[in-house]
């Protein structure tokens, strides 16, 4: 029975990936410090016979974990407010944590998948963004701790492939959303969903003309597993959904789905906020036959239903 390590396994994406790997019959260990993850994301697995949680910071020397066949490296704060809260920690997680995860994969002879990001393209001059685009990233701005941390992690992966023969692959994930996102993570989907459910104004940064392409988490997880299991994968791959929306369009759609009569309120655009983003998915289509299946409307409806269910017990207590 394959044994799989998921660093960041108590996070939003990580917990959905863990569910999928367990459903496939694997043994799964989640390594997570809960710095941005939540116990609630994996509480349903507390008594699962093939699941184990190791609470640990990936920066610190790793405890003995046994041998793995696959290592998914997802540990990193991911929302701009969270990764900017302690930027040096974010850089160290992505550089030192990825180094430890790669060393573990090398030691075990395990296949390795790095969760990289569309942020590697920065504020892109090329649109949509293919994997060959090298990006326009500020090394000095407030997003650099994440963007450059992830770029350094990619370089580490490439060098472990060349110099140490590790079977490492890199996936650049574009904005992904769905159930279990931390209501306080500050990302646009969680902000809009929870603001609308509370009947508060939706905070539109910079007028909302900037674009993103939102991927429902089930589509992403399907792509992650298919890429990991590919016999001769491309070294780096975009995954996401290539339907592009302005942030103002997203606000209007959330408001419509919640049927909330809430206003949109303007807020300043954060520094270095990318003006547009859409994945070029041709490589994923050719290599994996990957196609996102869940529309934004459907994915948001599922996310809203989950957020409502999370809110309901608290409301009763209050
Ligand atoms: P998340 O914050 O919900 O999950 C990250 C998990 O990593 C959390 O459980 C957190 O506790 C853990 N973690 C962070 N630093 C750690 C450390 N030093 N030691 C141990 N655990 C640590 O975020 P997410 O959205 O699930 O993102 C998962 C991964 O996917 C991240 O690597 C992120 O950069 C990448 N990614 C996500 C998106 C997205 O839109 N969700 C987009 C691009 C890339
Ligand atoms: N954004 C917004 N209101 C919010 C949160 C974010 O208008 O309450 C904008 C933000 O400026 C960015 C986009 O939504 O242009 C996506 O932001 P998010 O933090 O979700 O992800 P990222 O910027 O990393 O793509």
217-259 pLDDT per residue, tens = 999 999 999 999 999 999 999 999 999 999 999 999 999 999 9
61-103: pLDDT as tens digits: 999 999 999 999 999 999 999 999 999 999 999 999 999 999 9
Give 317's pLDDT tier (boundaries 50, 70, 90).
Answer: very low
Residues serving a catalytic function are 146
Ligand 2 atom closest to the Cα of residue 202 is: 8
Domains of the chain: 3-180+214-243+275-293 (3.40.50.720)
Which listed ligand is nearest to 186 at the C-alpha? 2
pTM over 0.85: yes
143-190: pLDDT as tens digits: 999 999 999 999 999 999 999 999 999 999 999 999 999 999 999 999
Q: Which residues have any ligand 2 atom within 6 Å of their CB? A: 79-80, 175, 187-188, 191, 203-206, 208, 210, 212, 247, 269-270, 273
The answer on pLDDT for 315 being more than 60 is: no
The answer on pLDDT for 31 being more than 90 is: yes
The answer on pLDDT for 23 being more than 90 is: yes
Report the 3 state secondary structure along the chain: CCEEEEECCCCHHHHHHHHHHHHCCCEEEEEECCCCCCHHHHHHHCCCCCEEEEECCCCCCCCCCCCCCEEEECCCCCCHHHHHHCHHHHHHHHHHHHHHHHHHHHHHCCEEEEEEEHHHHECCCCCCECCCCCCECCCCCCCHHHHHHHHHHHHHHHHHHHHHCCCEEEEEECCEECCCCCCCCCCHHHHHHHHHHHCCCEEEEHHHCCEEECEEHHHHHHHHHHHHCCCCCCCEEEECCCCEEEHHHHHHHHHHHHCCCCCEEEECCCCCCCCCCCECCHHHHHHHCCCCCCCHHHHHHHHHHHHHHHHHHHHHHC
Give 49's pLDDT tier (boundaries 50, 70, 90).
Answer: very high
Span from the CA of 179 to the centroid of ligand 1 (angstroms): 15
268-313: pLDDT as tens digits: 999 999 999 999 999 999 999 999 999 999 999 999 999 999 887 6
Q: Average pLDDT, whole number, for the chain?
A: 96
The pLDDT score that the predictor gives to residue 260 is 87
């Amino acid at each position: 029975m394959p044994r799989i390590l998921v660093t960041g396994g108590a996070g939003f994406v990580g917990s959905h990936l863990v569910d999928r790997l367990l459903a496939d019959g694997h043994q799964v260990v989640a390594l997570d410090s809960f710095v941005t993850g939540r116990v609630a994301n994996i509480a349903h697995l507390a008594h699962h016979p093939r699941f184990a949680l190791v609470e640990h910071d990936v920066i610190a020397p790793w405890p003995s974990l046994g041998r793995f066949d696959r290592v998914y490296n997802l540990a990193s704060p991911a929302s701009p407010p969270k990764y900017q809260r302690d930027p040096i920690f974010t850089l160290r997680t992505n550089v030192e944590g990825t180094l430890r995860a790669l060393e573990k994969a090398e030691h075990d002879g395990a296949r390795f998948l790095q969760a990289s990001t569309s942020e590697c393209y920065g504020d892109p001059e090329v649109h949509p963004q293919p994997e060959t685009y090298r990006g326009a990233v500020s090394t000095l701005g407030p997003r650099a701790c994440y963007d450059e941390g992830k770029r350094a992690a990619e370089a580490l992966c490439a060098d472990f492939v060349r110099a140490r023969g590790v079977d490492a692959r890199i996936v650049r994930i574009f904005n992904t959303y769905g159930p279990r996102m931390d209501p306080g993570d500050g990302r646009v989907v969680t902000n809009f969903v929870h603001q609308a459910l509370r009947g508060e104004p939706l905070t539109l940064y910079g007028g909302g003309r900037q674009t993103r392409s939102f991927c429902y988490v089930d589509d992403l997880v399907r792509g992650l597993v298919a890429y990991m299991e590919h016999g001769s994968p491309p070294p780096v791959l975009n995954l996401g959904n290539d339907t592009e929306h302005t942030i103002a369009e997203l606000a209007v759609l959330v408001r419509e789905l919640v049927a909330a009569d809430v206003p949109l309120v303007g807020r300043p655009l954060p520094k270095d906020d990318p003006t547009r983003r859409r994945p070029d998915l041709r490589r994923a289509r050719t290599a994996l036959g990957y196609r996102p299946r869940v529309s934004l409307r459907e994915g948001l409806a599922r996310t809203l239903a989950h957020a409502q269910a999370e809110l309901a017990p608290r409301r009763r207590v209050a």
